[in-house]
Amino acid sequence: MKRSLLLCMLLACPAPAAELVPGKSVFGEHQYIEYIPGDLPLVVCSPHGGRETPESIPDRTQGVVQPDGNTQELARTFAEVVHARTGHHMHLIISNLHRKELDPNREIVEAAQGSPIAEKAWNEYHDFVAQACAATVKQHGVAFFIDLHGQSHPDVRVELGYQHSARDLAADDEQLNGDAYLAKSSIQLIAAQSKEAYSQIVRGPASFGALLEKKGFFAAPSPRMPSPQEPFFMGGYTVRRYCLAKNNVAGLQIETYKPKLRDTQESRQKFAEALVDVLEEYLPARLAIQLDGTPVTSKTTR
């Protein structure tokens, strides 16, 4: 009887998770999902750059199945540049599965389309994302989140998805400053801490887009392109799920174009350097924290 009770207790208590080491990969089952833990206030996801097509997972038959070419390589280069600058690691979550097998940036029904193996990978992916966000907030008080993608729209621009459609961004500043727009924003946390009007945070001279353009990469929204033309990616499921002010997480979806940005290693390196430059300016101004995790002791007007 005692032996049976002990066995039940052991089965009910999961084994302790392996200790996470910043910069050292851990994997889900079959290594379909990879998590590289970090110790910086930055969480980055790469959902659509995988290449693995195991026979055990049937191809998805609905939704987008084309991968975002070279985005996994871009994410890894970004991580390397962050480490070179800071001596520390960002959190990075990667799907190694081809998008026709799994789309982690969709709800599970569309993402896995009934495959138990794909569903398990989807859960692993989002468990890692949630774990990374929670660990970052616990360590630093806030987390900045980037969901990194690739697009091939006619306009050459980096599209910044704050959960606002192109139609939303066609509104004038007074409308964009309204509660309805702020309520769905992925940077509510930043807006709540800022003395600046929300429209200026999104597309003003100190916006993420403005800072990217100063580094030589066209971006929207920005002062140059405050209201982009369709098609435009506004940010999807992952940003909507995790970038919540109540959880002290702010962020956006970054949609990169391919020519001279992610087509070659030289291009990816250049963009990664620019993106780190932007974060080194943006995070202290918007979240009162340096990229290396050091708090800004004297808050500037943001």
What DSSP assignment string belongs to 221-263?
A: SSSS-SSPPSS-----HHHHHH--GGGTEEEEEEEE-STTTTS
Q: What is the pLDDT of residue 19?
A: 84
Does the pLDDT of residue 199 top 60, yes or no? Answer: yes
Burial class (CB in 10 A: 0-12, 13-18, 19+), 300: exposed
Helix (H, G, I), strand (E, B) or coil at 1: coil
CATH number of the domain that 215 lies in?
3.40.630.40
- Report the mean per-residue pLDDT for the chain: 93
What residue spans of 53-195 are helical by DSSP H? 71-86, 108-112, 116-140, 166-169, 173-176, 179-183, 188-193
Nearest CA among 139, 155, 152, 161 for reference residue 243: 161
- Residue 299 forms part of a structural domain: no
Alpha carbon 291 to its chain's center = 15
Question: Can you tell me the distance from the alpha carbon of 249 to that of 239, in angstroms, rounded to the nearest whole number?
Answer: 10
The pLDDT assigned to 12 comes to: 35
Distances (CA, A) of 245 to 41, 156, 184, 185: 15, 31, 11, 9
Residue 10 lies in a domain: no
The residue among 201, 229, 224 whose CA lies nearest residue 214 is 224
Report yes or no on 15 lying in a domain: no
State residue 269's pLDDT score. Answer: 98
Q: List, for residues 202-253, the tens digit of each pLDDT value.
A: 999 999 999 999 999 999 999 999 999 999 999 999 999 999 999 999 999 9
Residue 175: HSE in the Cβ half-sphere, 13 Å Cα cutoff: 7
Burial label for 223, CB within 10 Å (0-12, 13-18, 19+), is middle
The verdict on residue 293 lying in a domain is no
Domain hosting 228: range is 20-287
**15-26 pLDDT, tens per residue?**
335 689 999 999
- What does the pLDDT read at residue 200? 98
5 located within any domain: no
Specify if 12 maps to a domain.
Answer: no
Question: Can you tell me the mean pLDDT for 188-197?
Answer: 97
pLDDT of residue 18: 62
Does residue 48 lie in a domain region?
yes
Q: What is the pLDDT of residue 298?
A: 61
Q: How far apart are CA 124 and CA 11, in angstroms?
A: 21
Number of structural domains the chain divides into: 1
Residues 30/130, Cβ–Cβ less than 8 Å: no
Helix H or strand E encompassing 94: strand 91-95
Q: What does the pLDDT read at residue 74?
A: 98
pTM confidence score: 0.93
The secondary element (H helix, E strand) that includes residue 271 is: helix 265-287
Q: Is residue 59 part of a domain?
A: yes
Give residue 300's pLDDT: 42
Strands 249-256 and 158-161, sheet pairing: antiparallel
Q: Please tell me the predicted confidence (pLDDT) of residue 174.
A: 98
- Percentage of residues in the chain with pLDDT exceeding 90? 92
Summarised one tens digit per residue, pLDDT across range 47-80 is 999 999 999 999 999 999 999 999 999 999 999 9
Mean pLDDT, residues 186-204 taken together: 98
- What pLDDT sits at residue 297? 83
